[in-house]
Structure 1
């Protein structure tokens, strides 16, 4: 209190005395700032502000292309050295990765505690075919390719390589099931990865949590009348290659049903099926329908948007489902088809 009891007086005169007064004022202000930060929860306030900023970026879909330095520093710490607030910061950042959001809330927090940062240059091999799986990866930025050769060189001459893009993950199956890698993954450009290592994975009992999630998905598919004709093995494959994902009320689940690469099953709750505008009286739209009919390209499909009313969904890739589906299931699907008004 005594430090701040005397108000700062105006400069008595110009010249040297005025300069000395200005220097004293700067020193006093510096001491004041240091005293304030030492006696306050300034760091916690800054962390809260930073976490709120990250959350806003995640919710709006405008998160920056690079991981902030503060988060890189946190992910370079050992899991046991991370505070709860630091784990929450990492969790909020990981929430911008689409594949991360498909895990349960419990597993998300476990991953946020153990995930480490890795940045790799173009042409660097991340995993090599034939090696044992020791880690799995989330892609925050950059681009990778999957190849069958050992050094990944074929990806740079292949016209249509299999790509792993931002928001995707890879390597989890080989780690969890203790298998050798069946392909090589190479960086097509500078890439930022969040890595979960085998030791941390099992030390934090993530395998137990994943097993619990698998059992839930298996039970869900087993209870569906749609796939009642499937064998245990086929349903196990469906559960193995699907993820449960929760959406809060009002969040968009699918923006455009015509661009879906997955089949969606509603596990809990429900979705609204919305049509943004009514174009039945629009002459341009009617001409478009006629063009589709005249060109013989097939029926023009209306675009719908799915909006959550607090829903949990299970996604299965269409290509994966097509490999598993049988004739009995196809007939059931045809009977379930709904005709929506144009």
Structure 2
């Protein structure tokens, strides 16, 4: 992450200017998981992002924990580990998938208010942009509902 972006994401979200949010937005456009959101939601998240650097093999979140954050991977990669059972009924952990730059994780627990379904650990040093649960829950659905209503009204 460029130094200027790290400095912006260290600022309290309430102190970020609209121009600063647009700079972060321009940096993230093109990341596949970021692009699935509308521009209004993207800008709301840019206002709220914090930056985290996580070292290799560090656990970011554990299966069964309550979801607190939503994560975008800016650089590096992570393992998504799930519990499975062999033919003898013994549990073991396996890597389901490796997520890389542009991927995101953690939204399922926030959207459905359920415990984490997998554990996430760093495959290599990673830089993450993090959105707090409260921001994600209050801003994203509200904007999505408003945009959906606008589209329905337009179609009428």
Please classify the TM superposition score into its range, dividing by the shorter chain length: 0.7 to 0.9
Hey, what does 1:197 align to over in structure 2? 132
Distance 1:186 1:172, change over 3 A: same
After TM superposition, give the deviation of residue 212 of structure 1 in Å: 5.1
Runs of 4+ in 1 over 3 A off after TM superposition: 210-216
Alignment match of 2:42 (pick from 101, 108, 127): 108
Higher strand share: 2
Count of paired positions? 144
Q: Which has the larger radius of gyration?
A: 1
Hey, what does 1:327 align to over in structure 2? none
What runs of 5+ residues in structure 1 fail to find an aligned partner? Answer: 1-66, 220-342
After TM superposition, give the deviation of residue 126 of structure 1 in Å: 1.1
Distance 1:84 1:193, change over 3 A: same
Alignment of 1:13-32 (within 5 A): none
Alignment of 1:88 with 2:4, yes or no, is no
CA-based RMSD: 2.4
Q: TM-score, normalised by structure 2?
A: 0.82
Alignment of 1:1-342 (within 5 A): 67-148=1-82, 161-203=96-138, 205-211=139-145
Q: Distance in 2 between matches of 1:154 and 1:133?
A: 20
What runs of 5+ residues in structure 2 fail to find an aligned partner? Answer: 84-91
Q: Distance in 2 between matches of 1:85 and 1:215?
A: 28
Q: Which has the higher contact order (CA 8 A, sep 6+)?
A: 2
Instruction: Answer yes or no: is the 8 Å Cα contact 1:94–1:112 preserved in 2.
Output: no
SS class of match (1:91):
helix
SS class of match (2:127):
strand
Instruction: Answer yes or no: is the 8 Å Cα contact 2:111–2:137 preserved in 1.
Output: no
Q: TM-score, normalised by structure 1?
A: 0.39
